[in-house]
Amino acid sequence: MGLFDFFFGNKTKKIQDFKDRDAVILDVRSKSEYESGAIPGSKHIPLQQVKGKISEIKKWNKPVITCCASGVRSGSAAAILKGGGVEAMNGGGWASLYKKLNN
C-alpha cells in the first residue's frame, strides 16, 4: 500500500466495488454542463438540489458514485448523501471517472 493509498484509499478499487454492486452514477454539475457531455446512463441532480432529493435517492436502494467537473462539487454531494444515510463516494471529475469505469 502506497502512502497515497494509506491516506486517501484506493479510489479505483472502491469505484470497482461500487460498480460491481450496480452503483448509480450521479452527476451534480449544472444542467448546461451535463448536457455538454456526461457518462451514459448517469443520473443528473445539480448539487444545490441533492439535499432535497435524498429521500428519492434512497429509493434507488443502490450505492451512489457522485461526479462533477473536477471533484469538488461531487465531494460535497457525497458528504451530503452520506449524512443522509446513503452509501456514497466521490468519483471525482466525470471524464476521469468514465475512464475508470470502462477499464
Query: Which structural domain range is residue 61 located in?
Result: 8-101
59 belongs to a structural domain: yes
Mean of pLDDT values over 76-92: 97
Q: How many H helices and E strands in the chain?
A: 7, 4
Question: Is 3 inside a domain boundary?
Answer: no
Residue 17 lies in a domain: yes
**79 within domain boundaries:** yes
Q: In the predicted model, what is the mean pLDDT of residues 30-59?
A: 98
**Span 27-49, average pLDDT:** 98
pLDDT tier at 1, thresholds 50, 70, 90? very low
Average pLDDT of the residues in 43-51: 98
Whether residue 2 is predicted with pLDDT greater than 50 in this model: the reply is no
pLDDT confidence of residue 53: 98
Residue 82, in any domain of the structure: yes
Look over the chain and give the mean of its residue pLDDT values, rounded to a whole number: 91
Tell me the DSSP string of 38-50.
--TT-EE--HHHH
Cα separation, 34 vs 43, in Å, equals 10
- Is 2 within a domain? no
Alpha carbons 9 and 49: distance in angstroms, whole number: 28
Q: Which pTM does this prediction carry?
A: 0.90
Instruction: Give the tens place of pLDDT for each residue, 20-37.
Output: 999 999 999 999 999 999
Q: Containing H/E element for 5?
A: helix 3-8
We report the CATH number of the domain holding residue 94 as: 3.40.250.10
Q: Would you say 43 and 25 are in contact if contact means Cβ atoms under 8 Å apart? A: yes
Number of domains into which the chain is organized? 1
Helix (H) or strand (E) holding 97: helix 94-101
Q: Which amino acid is at 95?
A: A
Displacement of CA 40 from its chain's centroid (Å): 14
